[in-house]
Amino acid sequence: MNAFAYAPRDACICGATLDAALARVVRSYPPGEVSFLRCASCRSWCQSPRITAQSLAAWFESPAYFGSRGAPGAAYADYFADEPQRLREAEYRWRRTLRRVAPPGSKVLEIGCATGSLLRVLRDHGCDVTGIDLSRKFADFARSEYGLEVGQGEFLACDLGARRFDLVLMLGTFCNLPSPHESLVKMRAHLGPGGLLLFNFPDSGHWLARAYGRHYWMFTPSIDVFPTRRGCESALRRSGFRLCSLETDRQWPSLRKLLKHARLDALLDVAARLGLEQLSPPFAFPVPAIRLAHAAAAAS
């Protein structure tokens, strides 16, 4: 794939100015380097300079990102091979959380819907679902495999007309938004009365993230910001939202995904040889450092 192209970035999601003299983490990938500065105000890590949306779209189409059998990618060991487990996890999310905020008939928009596994489960439970994803490969899969309405492109460039939604979902997407403030403002504009925004994010202030330091898996090209709780709350306030609740997220990953995110790539081949790569825990469990947030439009 082509080398990354970059754009300048001078502000954190909390609104504070970023300075080149701040603490920095730099990681190298096949298309080029990715660099993060730590905000002096909220302590979030912000990609600076930013990799452009066009470069990210190309990265998301690359095996170097998705991974494949025998050749783990930078972000996933083998993304498409985990689809059966994602469907099981999506059904669990419905039972635990989503059925309370998206009953049958709800209009749901998922930003960063990937393969559409969660939207398929929501549709099966009677919701009217729409998805958006930057990756053409993901969007094509969601349309062909599940018959979903999925737009391909960067969220800010997608024309939603005057549509309003009861729920906007971002699971694994909040940190990837290339223009977080503008994107959140647009989401608020497309929420109907009483609508909710539900998203998760890794908290860079958590002890586990601090223990991994610069080796934490979030320092990748697809990540625009690796926020602290304070940074996330500031971003919501600046965009016209109020935080309703915050809790530890629960997930149900495959062993392959767990090993990849723990940066234990050396064990992936062992798990594959033993036929254990798609093994998953018997139940979903709280994931340290991952927060699940509910937000609503703030009163004018």
Average pLDDT over residues 152-156: 92
Helix ranges restricted to H, 157-291:
180-189, 207-212, 229-238, 255-261, 268-273
Q: Which residues, listed in sequence order, are joined to residue 199 by a DSSP beta bridge? A: 170, 293
Asked if residue 241 belongs to a domain, the reply is yes
Residue 24's pLDDT is what? 94
**3: DSSP letter:** P
Q: Is the pLDDT of residue 77 over 60?
A: no
CA gap 25, 6 in Å, rounded: 16
Asked if residue 147 belongs to a domain, the reply is yes
Report the predicted TM-score, pTM, of the whole model to 2 decimal places.
0.87
Asked if residue 32 belongs to a domain, the reply is no
Of 228 and 250, the one with more pLDDT: 228
Residue 53's pLDDT is what? 84
For residue 74, what are the CA distances in angstroms to 25, 45, 263?
Answer: 17, 19, 10
Tell me which of 91-100, 144-153, 263-272 is least confident: 263-272
Asked if residue 243 belongs to a domain, the reply is yes
Asked if residue 18 belongs to a domain, the reply is no
Structural domain range at position 289: 53-297
Residue 78's pLDDT is what? 64
Q: Is the pLDDT of residue 268 over 50?
A: no
Residue 74's pLDDT is what? 54
Asked if residue 187 belongs to a domain, the reply is yes
Half-sphere exposure of 33 (CA within 13 A, CB side): 8
- What mean pLDDT is reported for the chain? 87
Asked if residue 11 belongs to a domain, the reply is no
Which CATH number does the domain housing residue 286 bear?
3.40.50.150
Asked if residue 281 belongs to a domain, the reply is yes
pLDDT digits 0-9 by tens, 157-183? 999 999 999 999 999 899 999 889 999
CA max distance for the chain? 58
Residue 28's pLDDT is what? 92
Q: Indicate the number of domains in the chain.
A: 1
pLDDT band at 19, cuts 50/70/90? confident
